[in-house]
Chains A and B, each alone.
Chain A
Amino acid sequence: MLLPRLIGNDFFGSLKDMQRVQEQLNRLFYEDGKSAEFPPVNVWTSPEGAIVRTEIPGIDPEKIDITIVNETLTLRGSRVEESTKDCHSCHRKERGFGQFVRSLQLPFIVDSDKVKATFKDGVLEIELPRAEADKPRRISVVSE
């Protein structure tokens, strides 16, 4: 009874539903996945490439160094502390400072010429398009 219902007209529709549920479950488990690395990253993907977003408040955008080698993205930079010489007492100090290096391996080769990076309100966004040569290609079969 179950099989005909599954294989019926709606088979691919229900597959899609399952995929959606799986995605949502994955989201549930991976969201805010704890990481000791700084800066923490969120990665958005599509067949065309990926977008990496990371929160680095208080950094001079010119001091962020982004390098890409094949499928590895490396972020380098340093957060400099504001000078507070004339302050005679410090009540709270929670913000961290110093240098950081973070490398990410992407699931595809990046077209490094087309990478775009924007920094706005302390959030760095890097657009990483997938290299044309790395994209899946459809091969048509010619019948002889």
Chain B
Amino acid sequence: MSTEVMEACKKEQENQKLQVTQNTEAEHTRAGKVFVPRADIYETQEQLLILADMPGVKEEGVDITLEQNILTIYGKVEQPQIEGYTLAYSEYGVGDFRRVFALSNEIDRDGIQATIKNGVLKLVLPKSKRAMPKKIAVSVE
């Protein structure tokens, strides 16, 4: 394969939504496709910040659960029904979003904040006091 073709393939993969493959996890109870949202994860001293692209997800359609250290984000997407129109050309699939993260740091559960704006979910996960780095002052005897 020429490098050009390979580059094109790579680009194609990058721009495509990744669908959750079946049989890897629990069965879904809702019909339809489920996609893995693209995400950025940042860490600061006090918190973890997760940004996930979930276009079409409304505020009330987001479901976030944290069990032990497994964080699951789920976003419900309504299928567009346009009266009198038929889908003539399609480049992307429409479906729910789901992604599971395993968190390494202990998270302060009560302090989790989630906001969604323009289809981007922003999750702020503050680290619990125990997990935060502690500075120990050295005193001179």
Q: Which residues of A are interface residues toward B (Cβ below 8 A)?
A: 23, 27, 30-38, 40-46, 48, 50-51, 53, 55-61, 82, 84, 86-96, 119, 121-123
Contacts and interface: CB of A to CB of B under 8 A. Distances in A.
Contact of B120 (A27, A40, A58, A91): A58
B12 A35 contact: yes
Contacts of A90: 40-43
Contacts of B42: 84, 87, 89-91
A36 B91 CA distance: 9
Contacts of A121: 55-58, 116, 118-119
16 contacts: A31-B90, A32-B91, A40-B16, A43-B88, A53-B80, A88-B43, A89-B43, A90-B41, A90-B43, A92-B40, A92-B41, A121-B119, A122-B53, A122-B57, A123-B55, A123-B56
Give the dominant DSSP class at B's interface: mixed
A42 B92 contact: yes
B56 A55 contact: yes
B65 interface: no
Contacts, number: 137
Nearest to A107: B88
A115 B15 CA distance: 27
Contacts of A31: 90, 93
Interface string B50-94: 010111111000000000000000000000101011111111111
A46 B58 contact: no
A94 B36 CA distance: 11
Nearest to A121: B119
Give the dominant DSSP class at A's interface: loop
Contact of B44 (A23, A56, A86): A86
A89 B54 CA distance: 23
Interface residues of B, number: 40
Nearest to B92: A40
B67 to A, nearest CB: 20
A96 to B, nearest CB: 7
Given A35-B15, A44-B85, A84-B49, A122 B41 contact: no
B119 A123 contact: yes
A94 B42 CA distance: 12
B118 A88 contact: no
B11 interface: yes
B29 interface: no
Nearest to B58: A121
A37 B14 CA distance: 10
